[in-house]
Amino acid sequence: MKITVCGTGYVGLVTGVCLADIGHEVVCFDTDEQKINMLNEGLCPIYEPGLEELLLKQLLANRLHFSTDAKQSYKESEVIFLAVGTPQKEDGAADLTFIEQAVETIAQHINSHTIIVTKSTVPIGTNDRLQAMFDGKGVSVHVVSNPEFLREGSGIYDTFHGDRIVIGSNHKEAKEKVEKIFQPLQIPIVHMSLKSAEMVKYASFLATKISFINEIAKLCEYTGANVEDVALGMGMDSRIGTPFLKAGIGFGGSCFPKDTKALENVASLYGYEFQILQSVIKVNEKQKSLLFDKAMNRMGTVEGKTVAVLGLSFKPNTDDIRDAPSIPLMDDLIEAGAHVRAYDPVAHNHVKRIYQNTIHYSETIENAIDQADLVCIVTEWGEIKDFPLHKYKQMMREPLLIDGRNCYKLEEAKQADITYISIGREVVERKTPIFRY
Ligand code: NAD
């Protein structure tokens, strides 16, 4: 099928490349010329495991094209996927400017009977509005909702092995055509109305699980229980399950923070007070200062101290720093007068745009922790999780490690003889004083 994907970000690019891989003829359109130039050279503008290889394969197979030319991209397309950003506005609502701009452009160039599939996360009722926009312009299309559930860092895997594909539409031919696109993936397909499909994306419950376990972690710290053991015991109950029961410094990234706020905003527009969701958001806001608070409780001040921040992206295996917990932490540390050394395997460039020369960018974990007074683990990249604990003792001025992701077992920290402060677990105190002259 001839498909155009509008927007080549984390969702659009993965979608375009994967649709080409299952045999469709795909054009990826974006207004960002620099991105499209890179993509045409076979270079991937984002870090997503396996994406660049698959992109090159599809470019060579001539099934995948990139363009900034709207007319060329849209005029022969049978189905157009909308995958532009829907960031958060100041009042928490989703900003639909990019979607509306895309619709304006699409309406100018398409044939009648094109199907418009919305992958972008949009508030309930948006797709009806988009349909009305096309109708108002006298362009005959069918708008279908197809919310996206991929996780950054495993986007390709998730596209090929998703748990379900949701198709929201009341139009028989439109939904059959969209179903046909995905058939080669052999993933269960669920049909529903436009509004229900929009709601499925927002209602997915994972942020609630994260804030809940973070509250349990807090109580574990007060009572002396161990949150890792508690989460294991809870998660083995098949009604609960282990995923997203990992206590830490809260959720970040391009979805959960803005989507929870957008859902709260939808509720408030209907005059409904969504109390659980409000608590989920509030708990997560508090988590942002957790590592800094723990550092201040322990050290009294960080002024003049060298602090290594390990992991900058909002989670491992991505370069995305949108709403990453590393940012408020570094803001607090800088404001309190600390010298920050930041390390991440792939996200340095994005962070440099924010902090420029205010912080030091370390090339390796060793460079970051050498003679540091404090190390904060923010993102559990494999190499950070696997970094040998004894090196903190060897290399730091004082081996004080605050681990926002519970990367190590308490027993390991005891054996390494470091001070180890984690989330929802007892503090491990270093036994041997270190005197450095
Ligand atoms: P992104 O910011 O990475 O990419 C958006 C792209 O759209 C950019 O390349 C931008 O240049 C392009 N764009 C903007 N206006 C355009 C226009 N008028 N025409 C063509 N291109 C245009 O965004 P993303 O992370 O890929 O997210 C896209 C949507 O998918 C959002 O609604 C998001 O909430 C949702 N979503 C994201 C994820 C994720 O993990 N990132 C997962 C599920 C759903």
Q: Does the beta carbon of 29 lie inside 6 Å of ligand 1? A: yes
Dist. CA 336 → ligand 1 center (Å): 35
The protein residue whose alpha carbon is closest to atom 32 in ligand 1 is 120
Classify the C-alpha dihedral 232-233-234-235 as positive or negative: positive
HSE, side-chain direction, 13 A CA sphere, residue 30 = 24
Q: What is the mean pLDDT of residues 408-417?
A: 97
pLDDT band at 433 (very low <50, low <70, confident <90, very high): low
- Please choose, from the candidates 240, 244, 241, the residue with its C-alpha nearest in 3D space to the C-alpha of residue 210: 244
The protein residue whose alpha carbon is closest to atom 27 in ligand 1 is 85
Backbone angles phi, psi at 376, to 5 degrees: -115, 125
Residue 373 is assigned to a structural domain of this protein = yes
pLDDT, the chain, mean: 96
The protein residue whose alpha carbon is closest to atom 44 in ligand 1 is 148
Residue 430 is assigned to a structural domain of this protein = no
C-alpha to C-alpha distance for 232 and 251, rounded to whole angstroms: 20
Dist. CA 9 → ligand 1 center (Å): 5
DSSP 8-state code for residue 407: -
Q: What is the mean pLDDT of residues 12-26?
A: 98
C-alpha to C-alpha distance for 29 and 36, rounded to whole angstroms: 8
pLDDT reported for residue 350: 96
Strands 360-361 and 141-145: unpaired
Residue 372 is assigned to a structural domain of this protein = yes
pLDDT band at 9 (very low <50, low <70, confident <90, very high): very high
pLDDT reported for residue 435: 55
19 and 162, same domain (yes or no): yes
Q: Does the beta carbon of 100 lie inside 6 Å of ligand 1? A: no
Residue 427 is assigned to a structural domain of this protein = no
- Please choose, from the candidates 113, 115, 117, 112, the residue with its C-alpha nearest in 3D space to the C-alpha of residue 99: 117
Q: What is the mean pLDDT of residues 355-382?
A: 98
148 and 223, same domain (yes or no): no
Residue 433 is assigned to a structural domain of this protein = no
The protein residue whose alpha carbon is closest to atom 25 in ligand 1 is 10
Dist. CA 371 → ligand 1 center (Å): 41
Beta bridge partners of 143: 116
Inter-CA distances, 55 with 20, 42, 214, 250, 376, Å: 9, 7, 38, 33, 36
pLDDT band at 437 (very low <50, low <70, confident <90, very high): very low
pLDDT reported for residue 8: 98
What residues are annotated to the active site? 255
**Please, what is the Cα angle at 205 between 202 and 210, to 5 degrees?**
125
In a mutational test of the pocket of ligand 1, which residue from 4, 11, 17 has the highest number of ligand atoms less than 8 Å from its CB? 11
Inter-CA distances, 313 with 47, 135, 153, 370, Å: 11, 42, 11, 22
Task: Check whether 434 has a pLDDT greater than 90.
Answer: no
Task: Check whether 426 has a pLDDT greater than 80.
Answer: yes
Where a domain ends, among 270, 286, 302? 286
225 and 348, same domain (yes or no): no
Q: Which residue spans within 98-241 are E strands per DSSP?
A: 114-118, 141-145, 165-168, 189-192
Q: Does the beta carbon of 30 lie inside 6 Å of ligand 1? A: yes
CB of 178 within 8 A of CB of 188? Answer: no
C-alpha to C-alpha distance for 405 and 142, rounded to whole angstroms: 45
CB of 94 within 8 A of CB of 122? Answer: yes
Which atom belonging to ligand 1 lies closest to the Cα atom of 101? Answer: 18
Question: Does residue 258 sit in helix, strand or coil?
Answer: helix
C-alpha to C-alpha distance for 125 and 164, rounded to whole angstroms: 22
Dist. CA 321 → ligand 1 center (Å): 14
122 and 19, same domain (yes or no): yes
Residue 431 is assigned to a structural domain of this protein = no
pTM: 0.94
C-alpha to C-alpha distance for 9 and 188, rounded to whole angstroms: 25
User: Which tens digits make up the pLDDT trace of 278-302?
Assistant: 999 999 999 999 999 999 999 999 9
298 and 255, same domain (yes or no): no
pLDDT band at 204 (very low <50, low <70, confident <90, very high): confident
334 and 220, same domain (yes or no): no
104 and 215, same domain (yes or no): no
CB of 152 within 8 A of CB of 14? Answer: no
48 and 178, same domain (yes or no): yes
Question: Does residue 24 sit in helix, strand or coil?
Answer: coil
Q: What is the CATH number of the domain that holds 219?
A: 3.40.50.720
Task: Check whether 263 has a pLDDT greater than 60.
Answer: yes
Q: What is the mean pLDDT of residues 197-206?
A: 94
Where a domain ends, among 203, 218, 245? 203
Question: Does residue 393 sit in helix, strand or coil?
Answer: helix
Q: Does the beta carbon of 102 lie inside 6 Å of ligand 1? A: yes
Q: What is the mean pLDDT of residues 138-160?
A: 97
Q: What is the mean pLDDT of residues 20-42?
A: 97
Residue 434 is assigned to a structural domain of this protein = no
Alpha helices in 239-379 (DSSP H): 256-269, 275-287, 290-299, 326-335, 348-355, 365-369
Beta bridge partners of 168: 145, 192
In a mutational test of the pocket of ligand 1, which residue from 84, 126, 150, 198 has the highest number of ligand atoms less than 8 Å from its CB? 84
Amino acid at the residue 206: L
Which atom belonging to ligand 1 lies closest to the Cα atom of 254? Answer: 41
**Please, what is the Cα angle at 300 between 296 and 305, to 5 degrees?**
85
Where a domain ends, among 203, 236, 253? 203
114 and 59, same domain (yes or no): yes
**% residues pLDDT > 70 (the chain):** 99
Alpha helices in 137-183 (DSSP H): 155-161, 172-182
334 and 408, same domain (yes or no): yes
Domain membership of residue 177 as a residue range:
2-203
Q: Specify the number of domains making up the chain.
A: 3
69 and 143, same domain (yes or no): yes
Residue 45 is assigned to a structural domain of this protein = yes
Task: Check whether 436 has a pLDDT greater than 80.
Answer: no
Q: What is the mean pLDDT of residues 242-266?
A: 96
Amino acid at the residue 155: G
Dist. CA 119 → ligand 1 center (Å): 9
The protein residue whose alpha carbon is closest to atom 2 in ligand 1 is 85
The protein residue whose alpha carbon is closest to atom 30 in ligand 1 is 120
214 and 317, same domain (yes or no): no
pLDDT reported for residue 205: 87
Question: Does residue 157 sit in helix, strand or coil?
Answer: helix
